[in-house]
A and B are shown apart, each in its own frame.
Chain A
Amino acid sequence: MNFAAYFGSLNPAGLLGRFPAGIAQGIIWGIMALGVYITFRLLDIADLTVDGTFTTGGAVTVMLILAGWNPWAAMLIALLAGIAAGAVTGLLHTILGIPAILAGILTQFALYSINLAIMGMKANQAISVDRFYLAVTSRNVPMAILVSGIVAVAVVALLYWYFGTEQGSAIRATGCNPEMSRAQGININTMKVIGLALSNGLVALAGGMMAQFQGFADINMGRGSIVIGLAAVIIGEVLGEAILGKHLNFAGRLLFVILGGVIYYMIVIIVLWLKLDSNMLKLFTAIIVAVFLAVPNLKAHRKNSFGRAARNAMAETSGKEEQ
């Protein structure tokens, strides 16, 4: 392979030119990741519904705008659709006793059919900014950054408020210690359903924004959302803790999740710019997430492992023999 020719073919200006659109998309993925944060970090549930609800949000938003709705009203309905989908997962889990991960997979699976039905049994539906008023579009990237940024900050503010209330505290307690929560009179099933519903509502809202930005809704647009969301959450946490350390409060954590989404998307853009095969992107993402999830365990393991115990024993024995 001719490296000189390869590097010569890379265009730095092209990379810079792609950054703004990447920021807009990263913020939208960041809003999605806030939903993942609620289930994964606060409720301690890995909710796989989101792969379906992201698409649901896109499908609902596009179809309503095509029907002449105002995009914000369409996104509100998308939010409600996501809330309903999350509630279904919650009820499957709490009332019917299906393990949370499986409940999410079931809802996501069912949503594939439902999403197709929403889109009139078509795998994708395009929406042109020339014919419709859209809240965000890739045609006007600065505006898209501004609008999605405002939405992101508003969502962070709302979540900060909600999880500081009596009810929000009860959701956090449910995720942290269910037994204690019940002893304090908290109906943990209700809290889990509320948390899952809220989370999926946000994911659908983000899906609605993404569909407008890219100009279409696609049946596969939500695939891998959970992994991208986890990547954003983890990147945000690592950065936040590195920069702010102990001063990282709840609002800060949420803001860093958005930043995590942006950074994730920047990485995507750089990978694409390097002309690496974009089909490998999901593999890279999965590896990054796996590594970051594993790091805390590996760190603990290093200090407390059988291998270490064996080496210590060996060292002590040989030390005695020398004496």
Chain B
Amino acid sequence: MAAMLSLINVRKTFNPGTINEKKALKGISLNLEEGDFVTVIGGNGSGKSTMLNAVAGVWPIDGGKIEIAGQDVTGLPDYRRASLIGRVFQDPMTGTAATMQIDENMALADKRGRSRGLGWGVTAEDRDRFREKLKLLDLGLDDRMTAKVGLLSGGQRQALTLLMATLRKPKVLLLDEHTAALDPKTAEKVLAATERVVNRDNLTTLMITHNMRDAITHGNRLIMMNEGHIILDIAGEEKKKLTVEDLLQKFSVASGEEFADDGALLG
């Protein structure tokens, strides 16, 4: 079976030729099969977010190739590969349009990657469909469909963004520390919702997290990044048996240094 997401020797350098030059990705290769739920960990500046942004197409990569569901997307900017990708960001403000209503936001997502013509933005039929979806979230948003999204809490906005990212089944779901800005209780709820929707729709998912325990308990595969390389890739039975101590041990063996991220240790 062909891979759902392939990164082949992807390279990216920020500010090349300047004093701030940063080689963020130094030849990353990665294959995700359909339904793979991969958690990504690594210290600050290890290249986790850069890898996700490369897949999303936020900027062009310097070398290598990215394929989604067999389609070469290397030359497509983010808005032209959006039909293939669902994204949830770290900052709850990023994923939704604050001055627009809940139903309007969902209608925008419903049209993700499709042409937008002069048909009415939100139809009555759309609204019924959205209401059903919102009910599943169980956040009481289904009877607040015409409320402005700016009135929602961070957790509600992240849950809504997750719903929007998966409203049209994406080929790849990208989660960039999407619970990092939430309080622990809310974070747990949003993670549970993530787990539900990923399992239900068998979504191919890349999830960055700072929390090693989350990285271990969620997904069927775990990769660890350091200085622009993937230094660890654990799947299946081996992953199920992992502990945080194992991970730290493996990190120092693979990278030759101590894991220097207190947040990950304490999390």
Contact = CB atoms under 8 A, between A and B. Distances in A.
Query: Does A associate with B in a complex?
Result: yes
Interface of A: 162, 164-170, 172-173, 176-177, 179-188
B196 interface: no
A165 B118 contact: yes
Nearest to A179: B94
B118 A185 contact: no
Interface in B76-133: 77-80, 82-83, 85, 87, 89, 93-100, 104, 107-109, 111-114, 116-122
Given A182-B79, A182-B82, A183-B78, A167 B97 contact: no
B120 A176 contact: no
Nearest to A170: B116
A165 B120 contact: yes
A210 B108 CA distance: 38
A183 B87 contact: yes
Contacts of A167: 116-118
B82 A180 contact: no
Nearest to A167: B116
Interface string B146-180: 00000000000000000010000000000000000
Contacts of A168: 121
Contact of A185 (B80, B100, B107): B80
Given A183-B56, A184-B112, A166 B79 contact: no
Interface extent on B, as a size class?
A: 20 to 34
A148 to B, nearest CB: 27
B118 to A, nearest CB: 5
B94 A166 contact: no
Given A169-B107, A169-B121, A177-B98, 17 more contacts: A164-B120, A165-B116, A165-B118, A165-B119, A166-B116, A166-B121, A168-B121, A169-B122, A177-B93, A177-B94, A179-B89, A180-B96, A180-B97, A182-B78, A183-B78, A183-B79, A183-B82
A185 B121 contact: no
Contacts of B113: 184-185
A186 B96 CA distance: 13
Nearest to A41: B99
A165 B117 contact: yes
A41 to B, nearest CB: 9
Contacts of A172: 97, 99-100, 104
18 contacts: A164-B120, A166-B118, A166-B119, A167-B117, A169-B104, A169-B107, A172-B100, A172-B104, A177-B94, A179-B89, A181-B97, A182-B78, A184-B164, A185-B83, A185-B112, A185-B114, A186-B79, A187-B80
